[in-house]
Amino acid sequence: MKKSILKVFLISICCLMILIEYNLPNNIKQRDAIKEFNTKKETYLLVKDFLLKEHVKNDLLSIRCTNNYSKGYYLSCYSENNERLKSYDISDKNVIDSLNLLNEVEWTSFDKCDASSVGEYTVVDFNYDWECAYDRNYMIAWCEDIKTLKLFIQSNTLPETEYILKKLGGDWYYIGWK
């Protein structure tokens, strides 16, 4: 009797550890990302407005870091078939300061932000740890239409990849991968 109770207890502990192992990192990542967004919401708004002002319909506009050591940013515009149309340094000090603030995150790195046309809507997405596998990266995205945002996510991930979509308020969303 004691042995069977002990076995059940040990199996329960093992199952709990497995659940924690596979769910906890996503929950922590999601919680930290949402907290980060709420703290820096004005910063996200400023960069989003800059991208929307510069964005041309049917093009992809991307802001990327030059490298991780000497922070600099450049803006690139791509055509529908991914041809780079133009690229230039960002000179707006407010935008640069905002991008630097977005780079000040713990346990992850801000890699890029894009403005993309999806149908009649535009999606602005901020990508963190984009170079890593799906277990660590996430996006903070802005879009006026949730169906368009879901279409955007599905077109940028593998079909079998599961994702988490959480509304942050207004037209802002957290997107993480399981």
- What are the tens digits of pLDDT across the range 100-127? 888 877 767 788 899 998 888 999 999 8
Which residues span the domain enclosing 9? Answer: 2-177
Query: Do residues 129 and 140 touch, judged by C-beta distance below 8 A?
Result: no
Structure tokens at 126: 């901020």
Structure tokens at 154: 């599905």
- pTM of full prediction above 0.85: no
Highest mean pLDDT (candidates 1-5, 80-84, 116-120):
116-120
Query: Do residues 60 and 127 touch, judged by C-beta distance below 8 A?
Result: no
Question: One-letter amino acid identity for 127?
Answer: N
Average pLDDT over residues 32-49: 91
Q: What percent of the chain has pLDDT over 70?
A: 78
For residue 20, pLDDT over 60 is answered with no
Our count of domains for the chain comes to 1
Q: What are phi and psi of 121, to 5 degrees?
A: -110, 165
